[in-house]
Amino acid sequence: MADWVDFNAVKAAVTMEMVLTHYQIKLGKTNATYLRGKCPLPMHTGDSENSLGVNTQKNAWACHVTSCVAGRDGKKGGNVLDFVAVMEGCSIRDAALKLQNWFNVEANNERPKDYVPSRDRPKGNSQLVAKKKDEPTVATLSDEKSDDEAVNPPLEFELKSIDSSHPYFKRRGVKEETAKHFGAGFFHGRGSMHGRVVFPVHNEIGELIGYAGRAVDDEMAEKEGKYKTPFHKSLVLFNLHRVLETKSREIIVGEGFFGTMKIFQAGFPNVVAVMGSSLSDEQEQLLVENFDRVVIIGDGDDSGRAFARDASERLTRKMFVRVVDLPDNVQPDKLSSEQIQKLLAFM
């Protein structure tokens, strides 16, 4: 038996749609690239009808139901190999061999002469860098990738020692339960995010792709920067994966993390953030594919109004757009729930 399997060749040849058909699993189509339906994984319990999400463009899947995640050692999703391995109760290698057999994949299973085991590869060029002992540091992205090649691979770890009850949230008007809902908190662990408030960021199918860290004092902000975002934020929208679970066709789009949490706290769960002051092409596509109506709420400054104006002009031809115009020097994260509710009373 061959001792090496070309996983990349198998993943390139077999789509999640092919695997779903093999298992006779039928999911509903929510948009051009996203499927959703009942999770068939053996460890899944409960009556959730739409817990399994599949991104056909990225050939990835995810299920966030607690029983399902716990049964997979905390993993929320993966690729076609991961899916088959869970369904069959086998290793990733055996899953690849099964897929080769099921779909007649032509893959060379002879170990390449220049193959180097992952344990022996240089660590400096790895796109994800994490400590082997204790708590991992936050991932860093390689600068060698061009914008066209930019990707956000799922993180292989989750940060611990995150405190959602930290006084900084109260100072910003965010309740502890709101911070917990978003998985946000003050990070006491080691690494580049130490001493910052961190926000877990996921892609649209719910895979954790990174943490954004916000300095909690002016000294840190001046020395190290107010925010650290060691991932390609232009490829994702903060909180989108949760909004998609609501099946709402209307979305509120703002700029930052705290604005998103304050709007959510005011009773509007269908809110996302671009994590900056501009809407990227990839973010525009995510909005157009998943929603019919968008409410844009930028900060009440020059950059916020430029963001709202640009986003409105680009999206108006493709969906219904409404812009909330804030007074000078007013930001959503500075408003009370009552003030936000008045601004969005038309929703």
Confidence (pTM): 0.65
Picking from 55, 74, 103, the residue at the C-terminal end of a domain is 103
Does 224 lie in the same domain as 170? yes
CA distance to 78, 131, 151, 198, 291, per residue, from 247 (Å): 22, 38, 26, 27, 9
Check which CATH number belongs to the domain holding 71 and give it: 3.90.580.10
In-domain check, residue 302:
yes
Picking from 103, 128, 144, the residue at the C-terminal end of a domain is 103
In-domain check, residue 318:
yes
Check which CATH number belongs to the domain holding 259 and give it: 3.40.1360.10
Check which CATH number belongs to the domain holding 217 and give it: 3.90.980.10
In-domain check, residue 48:
yes
- pLDDT, position 284: 94
* DSSP track, 102-116: HHT-----SPPTT--
**CB neighbours of residue 337 within 10 Å:** 15
Does 229 lie in the same domain as 180? yes
In-domain check, residue 144:
no
Burial (Cβ within 10 Å: 0-12, 13-18, ≥19) of residue 78: middle
Picking from 103, 133, 150, the residue at the C-terminal end of a domain is 103
In-domain check, residue 154:
no
Residue 20 DSSP symbol: H
Does 248 lie in the same domain as 301? yes
Does 334 lie in the same domain as 313? yes
Does 255 lie in the same domain as 221? no
Would you mind telling me the total number of residues written for the chain in this entry?
A: 347
206-230 pLDDT, tens digit each: 999 999 999 999 999 999 999 999 9
Does 252 lie in the same domain as 332? yes
101-154 pLDDT, tens digit each: 999 887 665 555 544 443 444 433 333 333 333 344 343 333 333 344 468 888
In-domain check, residue 325:
yes
| 294: β partners | 251, 321
Does 249 lie in the same domain as 227? no
**Per-residue pLDDT tens digits of the chain, which is 347 residues long:** 445 677 888 888 999 999 999 999 999 887 778 888 888 999 888 766 778 889 888 899 988 777 788 888 777 788 999 999 999 998 888 898 899 899 988 766 555 554 444 344 443 333 333 333 334 434 333 333 334 446 888 888 899 989 999 999 999 999 999 999 999 999 999 999 999 999 999 999 899 999 999 999 999 999 999 999 999 999 999 999 999 999 899 999 999 999 999 999 999 999 999 999 999 999 999 999 899 999 999 999 999 999 999 999 999 989 999 999 999 999 999 999 999 999 999 87
| Overall number of domains in the chain | 3
In-domain check, residue 322:
yes
In-domain check, residue 324:
yes
Domain residues for 230? 162-234
